[in-house]
């Protein structure tokens, strides 16, 4: 394939600068028009490219669901594992080879419903992982069932009269479990998302980023967002950046004019699982 082609007399590059990081043979992707996962992919690819870590040390792990298809499009070492089990796979990789930069990218259902227990224990242990959770408030891939992040009153395929179960507030849970880095952004905040992913690679310990993302054909359609653009407009009009927000108050209703509070909420340093393990081995040797 040539690098440049003439289209209507204009030279067009047929190679994207980040093509080397994508498995072009897997494209086109499966995602719906207006889905936020393309933006997440773009940010992740860019963050990996710009990181100080060599490409052959990056590993991306996912579970099952729309978000979990993402690693399959990356031309890196990637693992598409079983539902809710991305964290145990990633933990095993990191413990077996601490030199790897291990990133988990998965949806809210995968990480907080089916895999919730794995996540809180990885946080408790402070395993050195980057966990990027794409929250679209429902199980998109299987037809839009409600889950642990579906806001009160939101309609889904399985809550046609509105959800009455209290949803999880993800940054609050993760911070309470002890994660040393906690952030939330939306797919509208492309620059912040890129920056926070790069920051996550530098964090020693578990770095958690919630990424609020549109899911137009299921959650969006049933909740007055007629397309992906309508949800991006909601993010634009009602996002409020507050790094010092009181995390117990930043649960999401996804109803204008309620705000979507975003920011880098927690950034601390505490001993990682790997550091404590090394220390123990040293002590045992001496
Ligand atoms: S169902 Fe939702 S999350 Fe899944 S690809 Fe479509 S828009 Fe994206």
Q: Is the pLDDT of residue 1 over 60?
A: no
**Section 202-215 average pLDDT:** 98
Which ligand 1 atom lies nearest to the CA of residue 136?
3
Any idea where the domains of the chain sit in the sequence?
Answer: 30-285
Give the separation between CA 2 and CA 218, rounded to whole angstroms.
Answer: 40
Dist. CA 70 → ligand 1 center (Å)? 12
Give the separation between CA 37 and CA 45, rounded to whole angstroms.
Answer: 12
Confidence of residue 170 (pLDDT cuts 50, 70, 90): very high
Each residue's pLDDT tens digit, 248-284:
999 999 999 999 999 999 999 999 999 999 999 999 9
Residues 6+ apart with CB under 8 A from 252: 137, 149, 151, 167, 169, 212, 258, 260
Confidence of residue 236 (pLDDT cuts 50, 70, 90): very high
End-to-end, the C-alpha distance of the chain in Å comes to 60
Are 34 and 81 a contacting pair, CB within 8 Å? no
For the question of whether the overall pTM of this predicted structure is more than 0.75, the answer is yes
Structure-block tokens of residue 162: 């509105």
Pick the CATH number of 30-285 from 3.40.50.740, 3.40.50.970, 3.30.350.10, 3.90.1170.10: 3.40.50.970
Give the separation between CA 159 and CA 196, rounded to whole angstroms.
Answer: 34
pLDDT at 2: 53
Dist. CA 147 → ligand 1 center (Å)? 15
CB of residue 66 inside a 6 A radius of ligand 1: yes
CB of residue 31 inside a 6 A radius of ligand 1: yes
CB of residue 106 inside a 6 A radius of ligand 1: no
CB of residue 140 inside a 6 A radius of ligand 1: yes
């Amino acid at each position: 394939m040539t690098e440049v082609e003439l289209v209507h007399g204009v030279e067009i590059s047929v190679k994207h600068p980040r093509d080397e990081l994508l498995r072009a043979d897997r494209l086109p992707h499966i995602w719906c028009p207006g889905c936020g996962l393309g933006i997440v992919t773009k940010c992740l690819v860019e963050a990996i490219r710009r990181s100080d870590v060599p490409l052959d040390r990056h590993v991306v792990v996912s579970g099952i669901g729309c978000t979990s298809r993402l690693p399959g499009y990356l031309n890196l070492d990637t693992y598409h594992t079983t539902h809710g089990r991305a964290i145990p796979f990633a933990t095993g990789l990191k413990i077996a080879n601490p030199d790897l930069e291990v990133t988990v990218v998965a949806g809210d259902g995968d990480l907080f419903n089916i895999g919730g227990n794995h996540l809180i224990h990885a946080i408790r242990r402070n395993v050195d992982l980057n966990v990027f959770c794409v929250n679209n408030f429902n199980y998109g891939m299987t037809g839009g069932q409600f889950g642990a992040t579906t806001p009160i009153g939101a309609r889904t395929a399985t809550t046609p009269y509105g959800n009455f179960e209290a949803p999880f507030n993800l940054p609050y849970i993760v911070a309470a479990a002890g994660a040393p880095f906690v952030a939330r952004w939306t797919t509208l905040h492309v620059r912040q998302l890129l920056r926070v992913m790069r920051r996550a690679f530098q964090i020693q310990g578990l770095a958690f980023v919630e990424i609020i993302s549109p899911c137009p054909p299921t959650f969006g359609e049933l909740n007055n967002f007629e397309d992906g653009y309508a949800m991006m407009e909601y993010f634009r009009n009602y996002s409020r950046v507050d790094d010092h927000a009181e995390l117990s108050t930043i649960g999401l209703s996804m109803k204008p004019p309620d705000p979507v509070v975003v920011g880098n909420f927690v950034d601390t340093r505490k001993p990682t699982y790997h550091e404590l393990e090394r220390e123990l081995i040293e002590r045992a040797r001496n």
